[in-house]
């Protein structure tokens, strides 16, 4: 779990890699990733975008 003071930065290549990996996962697994990072940070943002694009509810 992350804390509010944790700062994670992804460069464009790594952000694309995360997006590609999320694209390969089942809908449920995308929500698991989002929840695993506490809904905070760039990975959560990418997961939220994937959830929005795929119409996945938590």
Number of domains in the chain: 1
DSSP annotation of 37 reads: T
In angstroms, the first-to-last Cα distance of the chain is 18
Q: Does the residue 23 lie in any domain?
A: yes
Q: Is residue 39 part of a domain?
A: yes
Query: Global pTM?
Result: 0.83
Nearest one of 30, 40, 38 to 7, comparing CA atoms:
40
pLDDT at 5 over 70: no
Confirm whether 31 is domain-assigned: yes
Has residue 11 been placed in a domain? no
- Classify residue 35: in a domain, yes or no: yes
Q: How far apart are CA 32 and CA 44, in angstroms?
A: 10
Task: Note whether residue 48 is domain-resident.
Answer: yes
In a domain, 10, yes or no: no
Better pLDDT: 2 or 39: 39
Residues of the domain holding 38: 18-53
Q: What is the pLDDT of residues 31-58, one digit of tens each?
A: 999 999 999 999 999 999 999 999 998 8
CA–CA separation, 32 and 14 (whole Å): 20
Nearest to 39 by CA among 48, 26, 30: 48
């Amino acid at each position: 779990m992350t804390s509010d003071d944790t700062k994670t930065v992804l460069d464009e290549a790594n952000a694309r890699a995360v997006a590609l990996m999320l694209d390969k996962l089942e809908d449920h697994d995308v929500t698991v990733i989002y929840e695993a990072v506490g809904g905070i940070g760039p990975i959560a943002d990418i997961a939220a975008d994937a959830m929005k694009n795929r119409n996945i509810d938590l």
